[in-house]
Every structure is written in C-alpha cells, then in structure tokens.
Chain A
C-alpha cells in the first residue's frame, strides 16, 4: 500500500528523485563528530517549543489579572497541563543551551569560513531571536520573578544616552511594566518572532544543503583549495550515507535531549523555578534578590561592573557585531583551530569570562 502512495506522489513531484538525492546519495564526510547533530537538535528543540507552546496558548490568558491564574489552572486543573508547561519551560532553557553549544562547536571547527559566512550570520541572528523568545516568554506567567526580571532587563537599554530611554519606553509600552508590556511581549512571543525564526531557519538550512556539509579540519579529509572563486557544492562521494548512519546519530541525540529534559522535570523540577516564580506579580513589592534569566546574567553583570554605563553597553554591542560578522573579519585560510593558538586563546578567554560573569551575576 505504501508503494502505491509513494508512486502517486512521485508521479506528481518526483518524490523518488528527492529521496534519492537527499537521503540515499547524500553523503556525510567520514570525520564528522557528534557535535554535528547539534543543529538538528536545535530544530527538534524548537519543534517541541512550538507544539507545547500552542497547547499552552489554548488555555493561557494574556492579561495581568488572569495570566497567573491561567497558568496555575494549566498546572493544576487542566489534565496533563503540568506536563506541557514544564516541557515548555525546561525546553526553553535547553534550547538556548543547545543553540549556544552549536555556535561554540561550529566556531571551534571553523565551519563558518568562506563560503559559509551567510550561514554563520543567519545562525547568529537565530541565536539572538532565541534569546528574545526567552525574554518575552519569561514575562508571560506574570509572577514576581517575571515582573521584576523584566523590569530590570527593559531598563538595561537606558544605558544609551538620548535613545536609551525611548527604547526602554517602546519595549515596555510605558514607564513601568504593565498590561501593555504583557500584550506586546505576548504578541512578540507568539506572532512576531516565530515567522522570523522560521524564515531564518529556512535560509540557514537551505544554505547548508546548497553549499554542502563542511568537514572538520581534524581528520584526514582536506577542505577544497582556497580561495573559492566560483560556486561548487561540496560533496563527499566516499563519505558515509546520510541514511541510516547519520540519521541514527541524530535520532539517538534527540532521545538524549528528551531524556535530559525529563530528567530535569523529574529530579530537578525547581531548577528554573525559584520560589518567586510561584507567587503572583506585585508591582509594589520588590523581592530581595532579583536577577534576569541565566542567559542574560553575563551582560547584566558586565553592565553592573563597568562604571560608565554607556561604555558598558557599547562594549557588548560591539562584541555582538563582531560575533555576527566574524566570518567576514577572519579571512585566514587556516581552518584548524588547533593550529591557531591566538584565536583559540581569545575565544576560550571570552568563553571563560562569559561563564565567570554568569556566576558572578548570580550573587
């Protein structure tokens, strides 16, 4: 029966040809490693967020008077509401982790280099969008933690002279976090960011497919001679087939991701839920220790440290621009990061500083 269906579709769109080229003949270089599955994991993570998010959307009410109550209802009254809410909350943190790991491994393997600059740029923008997803979603349960963390984060742009205050005003829809803020964060989270994310992801995946997989510099296979002066899709005739080998790797990594998610849900359910996350927002009572979510702690701590706020925020913006445009700035031919001690050193230094600032920001 399946054969009949396949044939019906094949007559119309040439399905067999697609399967042949994309699955059977698609070859992966022999020296790839497990980190090559991280991109796929990010897509899976996003898919889980979308599905659980839509389910939550069915019962969530985006108004300050009902937001907290509706989330509580999802957690206590709706059957299995707790399952989807926890998956969404834990999943958001895991997704950001996966996207960041993906970025770090791509960087260390030099896979951003020509001709893959646009892929890196797209990925960098996706990372930023993912963090904005996290930021906007954080406010929606309207808890003490949400409200005050958002107050802090939307005040961070005021570090800019002149345009800082208007930016904060637009973000918040006023002087303080109010129902207006909730509405626009909700619109961002549910309607504005998803199509942008999907578009960027689409471009990113198209580029990967079109240009061809980049082999790591650590194995025997050498990348093509540089510099490239015309388009050539990278193929690996003696690589291993995508299906079943690489596909299986992606599958068990996906299972590992879900196992980690459920491990956290079972044994560490309060990891992302300190007690302020279970109390409704009170605009008149500031809790003692409020801080932004962990992925924003490093920028937050940096702002707190540098006495001149404008300098503080400029440094971060400059770093972000450099990060996004890195493939255009790093045009050295050498791809193997093990042979580039300066780059390795600088990158590791920045990474360690990020982690240090993160932990420092927790105090």
Chain B
C-alpha cells in the first residue's frame, strides 16, 4: 500500500512538474526524460544549479577534463570541441533542439561525462537541474 502511495505521489509530482515546465504544450520526449529522473528521486529542476554546474571547475574527475567547458562551449549557446578537435553542437536547446530527446544518448553522455569531469555518476537531481537549465536558455 505504501509503495502504491509513493508511486501515485511520484506520478503526481512528475505530472505537476511537466505541466509547469511545458505548459501549455503537451509533454514531449524531453519532459519524459526529466520525469524519469524525478521518478529516481529528483525534485523539480533548479536552473541556477544547472548553470553553476556548467561553469564549475570540478577538478575531481580525470585531470584532462576538469570542467564541462573543457569540451563544451564557453557558454551553452556556443559550439564546443572535443579534445581531438571535433565540433560539439551547443548545449542550449534553443540552438540544438534535439538535445535531451533521446534517452539512450542522454544516459550514455551523463554516465561518461560526469565520470570524466566530476569523478562519479551524476545524481538524478543534477541531471534534472542540467536539463532544465539548458532548456531555459
């Protein structure tokens, strides 16, 4: 019974958040991905925290990649470059609308890049903050 209550609660939260974010448009793949992370325990996204992540010098992961902007653009609206010189599309959804719409891709890159930069997997909350920030620009 308790688990059903929790489930209902999670769905209600996710639905409320999705509505707040996408209102009045209907939920899309990005909202589904966010709802998935909320089901893993994250609260509503905090864009300011996401912005802080984008520029923070973590230096706790691999030495060659101390921060997100080692490879991503100096601002999310700018293109970045991999360490081998390949262009990376901007992270801002307004500049690259396909961002955060493919769950497999999102999981793959959070896993790799959080480990490379921070030295651990990102929390569900960090993932939601990140996506909400980059969707807000």
Does chain A bind chain B? no
